[in-house]
Amino acid sequence: MQQMLYLDRGQVRDTGVDMTAIMEAVRSAFVDRAQGRAQAPPKGAIYPQPEGFINSMPACTAQAAGIKWVSSYADNARYGIPSIHALMILNDPQTGQPLAIMDGSWITAMRTGAVTGVYAKLMSPVKRPVVAIVGCGVQGQSNLEALTVSNPPGVVRAYDVCDETCRRFVAEARQHFPHVQMEVAATPREAVEEADIVVTATAIRKEPRPVLQPQWLKAGCLGFPLDYDSYWSQEAIHACDQFWVDDQEQFAALRSHGYFQGLRVPDGELAALLGGCAQARKTGRERICVMSLGLGLTDVATAWLVYKKALARGIGQMLPA
């Protein structure tokens, strides 16, 4: 009888797959995409609420095929629940047989951080950078973790609209990363000004409520608006010397759904950088904006690591396929 593995959220995390391994899997997946060995079509989307969407995100690597079904509801805090929920399905690419069903929330956070880490390794302006984290939830945490792997920060200035969330983030980061100087910023501008790397991890909104302004960005800074153009003003993005995305096709698809209206066309995508078809940073004073749009490719690559670790460690429950 065919069987497939089921992993809940805690079991996915307990497999022990670390950020270093995820970053390497993500990097390899983008290289494979650049060389035609991986597939990652644009995500499909439905919009049950004005500020809530659910995406289907299929992808195929050499090891696994799969799909993520993920929701993002910007206003879920009012219900006391996370804004992002996700479910992964993995299939054998040779036979199509279902291999696993697993929670995808932890995977979503970690692969997003990993993409930031891969870009930062290519484009970081300095060693031991000053880092701004605006939005101190799960994505803020995973992106800080990835940056400590790719180019450990000297100072991190954190800001969140909820002061308690920010202070908890800083306290936990001091325990996990004792060699990083962690500071609480009183305002987003205080966090961003003089930062070498800027990560904003607030809610994605179809109708942006921009806060970050171009004059806040120092020469040479590297910016990661994980929240699309919801938090960065278009003027701030346009003021950057380079604007990159993880996937041009996905950018165009999202624009067709109403996002990025009036935003400039990206200069390139991550696969081109990793495949050696484009140059990353040309000078130390270039301001570079990198928008990670989220690809099923990185989810499948990460889920495959989780699946292998779970099998090796006997984690999860086998179900009839």
Structure token digits, residue 86: 């996700």
How far is C-alpha 294 from the geometric centre of its chain's CA atoms?
6
- Among 227, 222, 276, which Cα is nearest to 244's? 222
- Among 301, 320, 311, which Cα is nearest to 66's? 301
Adjacency order of strands within the sheet including 3-7 = 44-49, 52-60, 65-73, 84-91, 98-103, 3-7, 317-320
Backbone angles phi, psi at 22, to 5 degrees: -65, -40
Structure token digits, residue 67: 């799909």
DSSP 10-46: HHHHHT---HHHHHHHHHHHHHHHHTT--B-PPPEEE
Structure token digits, residue 3: 């069987």
The Cα–Cα gap between 92 and 149 comes to 31
CA dihedral 198, 202, 208, 211 (to 10 degrees): -50
The residue whose two tokens read 């593995």 is: 5
- Determine whether 282 is an active site residue: no
Q: HSE (CB half, 13 Å, CA atoms) of 67?
A: 12
Could you give the C-alpha distances from 154 to 121, 150, 196, in angstroms and in order?
A: 15, 13, 10
The residue whose two tokens read 């490719």 is: 297
Catalytic residue among 43, 68, 127, 282: 68
Structure token digits, residue 207: 């109708």
User: Would you name the residues annotated as active-site residues?
Assistant: 68
